[in-house]
Amino acid sequence: MSGLDEVVARVHRDEWARVVATIARRFGDLDVAEDATAEAFATAVERWRDDGLPPNPGAWLTTTAGRKALDRVRRESRRDEKQRQALMLGDQLSGPPEPTGAVGDERLRLVFTCAHPALAMESRVALTLRMVGGLTVAEIARAFLVQETAMAQRITRAKAKIRAAGIPWRVPEADDLPTRVAGVLAVLYLVFNEGYLATSADADPVRADLTAEAVRLTRLVRELLPDDGEVAGLLALMLLIEARRGARVSPHGELVTLDQQDRGAWDRDLVAEGHALVRERLASGRPPGRYQLLAAINAVHTDARDARDTDWSQVVALYDQLVRLDPSPVVALNRAVAVGELDGPHVALAQVDALAGSLDGYHAFHAARADLLRRLGRSADARAAYDRAIDLAGNSAESAYLRRRRDELGTAEGDA
Amino acid sequence: MHYLLSVVDDTANPGPADEPGAVDRFNDQLKQDGYWVFAGGLQTLDTATVVDARSGDTTVTDGPFAETKEYLAGFWVIEAPDLDVALTLAEGGSRACRRKIEVRPFDGIA
């Protein structure tokens, strides 16, 4: 890659969302904003090759994209209202570039618009990746294993609803910020999880591009809402999980569980940053939310030099708090697994079995049960549970791990 | 923008009676804040009649056009700057009439 290509790629990462956001707000239309921004980048590649990099590439791109958008609106100005808008906007665009002080706010508007509660969750995730993350429709379709046409349709529908229903370009008022932020964080967590443990057997087991994108966007939200505890909590959670990514899949493509991982292969900088955020939240003295508790649990895990040194009583205590906030069966399952380390597999199995009604279709339920049954020496039951877990697991690294555990059981007992 | 706030009731699981005066207070607030355009409650579903003159012959049928459990019980037409404002107003409307509210933008208004 030439030097210029690298610069353009970096500017694309850094500036895409800001340019789209600025144009979208001025023209009130995501399609116009997206096309104009893409055109501006195409022009930039040609012009910068001849003229060199402008002193402020972001401002150059915003101005150029603004002109492109204006041209497009003028071309389509059969409609009176658009004509009026175009004429009105002409004055603003010929002025000096916007001060960079407004930058963060523009991107935040875009994040909140794309993650609006009036849009279906799957549309929010797709739109956030497209408009804020700058991923192509093909990339998003691949990440979520749907047809490109279906993904394009989903994004088009979401944009059309934003336009027709009058979803505003603003950061919500302080009153509804907590609920809106929660939606934004849910979107980012979904993106991260899809990258960390891809749900399909056909995808790479770990999608580093998706986890990196989720971390980058969460950092952005944190930059803009530095005092929000759950934003800090989600960032810490992602960093502490991301730190272990390299140790998590073996060279043979098999999942390596937390207790078996080479802790020396963890990314120390990410661990340190995650721990610092968790400490910052503890020092605030304010009651932690769901992401902060999950981050704290991961901080305890990453604190131990060896899996045997893990402070399980602390982990269980944190899960106790989490169950009070989020009494979902999945949280109860994870708590039971921690209880198994503290009080033994007997106690844990009773708690896990109590969840059978709601979690029978969830592979992690059967995997956890299989492990507890194995530890209790109930090989035949363990084998049946591994079989169920393998049937339900979508991730190829996870299936490989579960198959090996099941087969080890077979050779040890010889009762296959 | 104009939005239709539809009051959705359910024949199988009807909403409870309104808190006395709650809807009136909500209406007064809409008027005071400048969102009010028009509103109305509808008579029960069994008062509906469907007229179809599409084929040239006119048929008149007793009953509502759609055989669903959920039905339109009333509505507000409001004018609001954007969907977020409309959703906040719908929240107040839902509390006042103790039913679900569907929010839809008008494509045009005569």
Q: Which residues of B touch A116 (CB under 8 A)?
A: 83
Contact B87 A118 (CB under 8 A): yes
Q: Which residues of A touch B87 (CB under 8 A)?
A: 118
Closest listed residue to residue B14, CA positions, set B87, B73, B58, B65: B73
* Distance from C-alpha of A273 to C-alpha of A292, rounded to nearest angstrom: 14
pLDDT digits (tens, 9 = 90+) for A366-392: 999 999 999 999 999 999 999 999 999
* Angle, helices A229-242/A268-284, rounded to nearest 10 degrees: 160
State whether residue B1 sits within 8 Å of chain A by CB.
yes
pLDDT digits (tens, 9 = 90+) for A303-361: 999 999 999 999 999 999 999 999 999 999 999 999 999 999 999 999 999 999 999 99
- Residue A302 in 3-state DSSP? helix
Contact A165 B87 (CB under 8 A): no
Cβ pairs bridging A and B (under 8 Å): 29
pTM of the complete model beyond 0.80: no
DSSP secondary structure string for all residues of chain B: -EEEEEEEEESSSPPPPPPTTHHHHHHHHHHHHT-EEEEEE---GGG-EEEE-TTSS-EEEES-SS--SEEEEEEEEEE-SSHHHHHHHHHHHHHHHTSEEEEEE-S---
Does residue A39 have a pLDDT over 90? yes
Contact B83 A164 (CB under 8 A): no
Starting from the edge strand earliest in sequence, which strands make up the sheet with B100-105, in order? B36-41, B70-79, B2-10, B100-105
The per-residue pLDDT for A102 is: 41
- Residue A57 in 3-state DSSP? helix
User: Distance, in angstroms, between B73 CA and closest chain A CA?
Assistant: 22
* Angle, helices A229-242/A208-224, rounded to nearest 10 degrees: 150
* Angle, helices A30-51/A57-75, rounded to nearest 10 degrees: 130
For residue B107, give the chain A residue with the closest CA: A164
Task: Say which residue the tokens 């669903």 belong to.
Answer: B68
pLDDT digits (tens, 9 = 90+) for A275-319: 999 999 999 999 999 999 999 999 999 999 999 999 999 999 999
In sequence order, what are the residues at sequence separation of 6 or more whose Cβ sits closer than 8 angstroms to the Cβ of residue A92? Answer: A26
Q: Which residues of A touch B88 (CB under 8 A)?
A: 176
Q: Torsion-angle region of residue A124: left (phi > 0), alpha (psi -120 to 50) or beta?
A: alpha
User: Distance, in angstroms, between B37 CA and closest chain A CA?
Assistant: 18
Other C-beta atoms closer than 10 Å to the C-beta of A201 total 14
Q: Which residues of B touch A176 (CB under 8 A)?
A: 84, 88
Long-range CB contacts for residues A67-70, cutoff 8 Å, separation at least 24: A67/A93, A68/A35, A68/A36, A68/A39, A68/A40, A68/A43, A69/A23, A69/A26, A69/A27, A69/A32, A69/A33, A69/A35, A69/A36
Contact B82 A167 (CB under 8 A): yes
In sequence order, what are the residues at sequence separation of 6 or more whose Cβ sits closer than 8 angstroms to the Cβ of residue A292? Answer: A229, A230, A232, A233, A236, A278, A281
Residue A197 DSSP symbol: S
Nearest neighbour of B1 by CB, restricted to A116, A118, A166: A166
B 89-108 residues with CB below 8 A of A? 103-105, 107
* CA triple A374-A345-A328, angle to 5 deg: 105
pLDDT digits (tens, 9 = 90+) for B58-102: 999 998 988 889 999 999 999 999 999 999 999 999 999 999 999
Contact B72, B41 (CB under 8 A): no
Q: Which residues of A touch B80 (CB under 8 A)?
A: 166
The per-residue pLDDT for A100 is: 44
Quote the distance between the C-alpha of residue A186 and its chain's center: 8
For residue A167, give the chain B residue with the closest CA: B83
pLDDT digits (tens, 9 = 90+) for A240-271: 999 999 899 998 889 999 999 999 999 999 99
pLDDT band at A122 (very low <50, low <70, confident <90, very high): confident
Does residue A4 have a pLDDT over 90? no
Question: What phi and psi, each to the nearest 5 degrees, are found at residue A94?
Answer: -80, -10
Mean pLDDT (chain B, rounded): 93
> What integer is the mean pLDDT of A45-62?
91
Burial annotation A131-149 (CB, 10 A radius, 16+ → b, else e): bbbbbebebbbbbbeeeee
In whole angstroms, how large is the CA radius of gyration of chain A?
25
pLDDT band at A104 (very low <50, low <70, confident <90, very high): low
* Distance from C-alpha of A62 to C-alpha of A22, rounded to nearest angstrom: 7
Q: Which of A81, A167, A180 to mutate to test the interface with B (most CBs of B within 10 A)?
A: A167
